[in-house]
């Protein structure tokens, strides 16, 4: 059976979920703040690399002799990422998790060292489906062929990764997926999809897209308690800056994210 690969499939899936009375689905889905996002005074850029759904960010971080990526988006061509990279060497790709909309362009960067959180390898490589029902449905409809990066490594929780002169603290934050990851670099916490910025608060997309919905506040408390960050860059929405990021995350973990 041919893979359905269109907006019709997405809208049909959303419609079925909404019709089932689960939640007001559309109102909770993240909306990106721009095709290219950054913070004044910080040397990194988030580029919209979302393919059909159009909402996945890949972050491009300059390093001594090239760049490091956080996630590789949903667009398998990696077109917007390559435009931002502009011919520089991609030394590594730090995956926040293994859902298809964050790993699609991995085959475009076969020389890069790919990192993921503990136990996330089978999901990244397509050896196991997402545990979240919504993620499993979306993967069947939209994901490309399974791909195993030639250079792949799961980090240890709390490990420091030093890549081409840049240093990242790698944290295991399960909830959205079992092996989800956060990376803290130069005052920025890249947190993937565990929480989504919405201007004045952090929230979540519908629970059907999480492998363990109740674990999210616990995992994000680990990020909150690490004080070496000021801003949060999530996987779909925005960069939440220092003036409100800590207060918003404190509110999120303080009331269990509801």
SS3 47: strand
Closest CA to 90 of 114, 63, 70, 68: 68
Question: Is 90 inside any structural domain?
Answer: yes
Decide if 61 contacts 47 (C-beta within 8 A). Answer: no
pLDDT cut 90: percent of the chain above it: 71
Query: Cα–Cα distance between 50 and 142 in angstroms, integer?
Result: 12
The number of distinct structural domains making up the chain is 1
Q: For 166-205, write each residue's pLDDT tens digit.
A: 999 999 999 999 999 999 999 999 999 999 999 899 998 8
Residue 185: its H or E element = strand 181-185
Q: Residue 2 pLDDT more than 80? A: no
Question: Is 44 inside any structural domain?
Answer: yes
Residue 222: its H or E element = helix 216-225
pLDDT cut 70: percent of the chain above it: 86
Looking up residue 162, the CATH number of its domain turns out to be: 3.60.15.10
Report the pLDDT value the prediction gives residue 254, as an integer from 0 to 100: 86
Residue 93: its H or E element = strand 89-94
How many residues would you count in the chain? 258
Question: Is 183 inside any structural domain?
Answer: yes
Q: Residue 257 pLDDT more than 70? A: no
SS3 140: helix
Q: For 8-25, write each residue's pLDDT tens digit.
A: 444 444 444 444 444 444
Task: Work out whether the CA dihedral 189, 144, 82, 93 comes out positive or negative.
Answer: positive
Closest CA to 142 of 32, 29, 2, 48: 2
SS3 100: helix
Average pLDDT of the chain, as a whole number: 88
SS3 101: helix
Decide if 134 contacts 140 (C-beta within 8 A). Answer: no
Residue 118: give the domain boundaries: 7-14+34-254
* Residue 53, φ and ψ in degrees, nearest 5: -75, -25
**Mean pLDDT score, 112-119:** 98
Contacts of 172 (CB under 8 A, 6+ apart): 117, 118, 157, 158, 179, 180, 181, 219
Tokens of 230: 């000021």
Question: Is 224 inside any structural domain?
Answer: yes
**Mean pLDDT score, 216-236:** 93
Question: Is 220 inside any structural domain?
Answer: yes
Report the pLDDT value the prediction gives residue 14, as an integer from 0 to 100: 47
Helix 133-142 to helix 7-19 angle (10° resolution) is: 160
Report the pLDDT value the prediction gives residue 53, as an integer from 0 to 100: 66
Higher pLDDT, 1 or 52: 52
């Amino acid at each position: 059976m041919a893979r359905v690969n269109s907006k019709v499939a997405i809208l049909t899936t959303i419609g079925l979920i909404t019709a089932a009375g689960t939640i007001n689905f559309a109102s909770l889905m993240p909306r990106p703040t721009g095709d290219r996002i950054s913070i004044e005074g910080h040397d990194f850029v988030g580029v919209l690399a979302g393919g059909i759904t159009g909402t996945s960010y890949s972050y491009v971080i300059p390093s001594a002799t090239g760049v490091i990526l956080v996630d590789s988006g949903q667009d398998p061509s990696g077109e917007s990422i390559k435009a931002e990279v502009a011919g520089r060497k991609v030394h590594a790709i730090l995956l926040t998790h293994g859902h298809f909309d964050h790993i699609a362009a991995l085959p475009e960067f076969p020389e890069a060292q790919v990192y993921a959180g503990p136990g996330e390898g089978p999901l990244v490589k397509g050896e196991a489906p997402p545990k979240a029902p919504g993620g499993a449905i979306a993967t069947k409809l939209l994901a490309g062929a399974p791909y195993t990066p030639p250079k792949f490594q799961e980090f240890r929780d709390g490990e420091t990764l030093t890549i081409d002169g840049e240093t990242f603290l790698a944290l295991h934050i399960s909830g959205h997926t079992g092996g989800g990851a956060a990376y803290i670099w130069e005052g920025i916490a890249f947190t993937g999809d565990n929480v989504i910025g919405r201007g004045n608060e952090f929230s979540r997309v519908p629970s059907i897209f999480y492998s363990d919905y109740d674990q999210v506040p616990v995992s994000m408390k680990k990020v909150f308690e690490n004080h070496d960050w000021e801003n949060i860059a999530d996987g779909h929405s925005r960069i939440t800056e220092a003036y409100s990021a800590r207060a918003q995350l404190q509110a999120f973990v303080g009331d269990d994210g509801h």
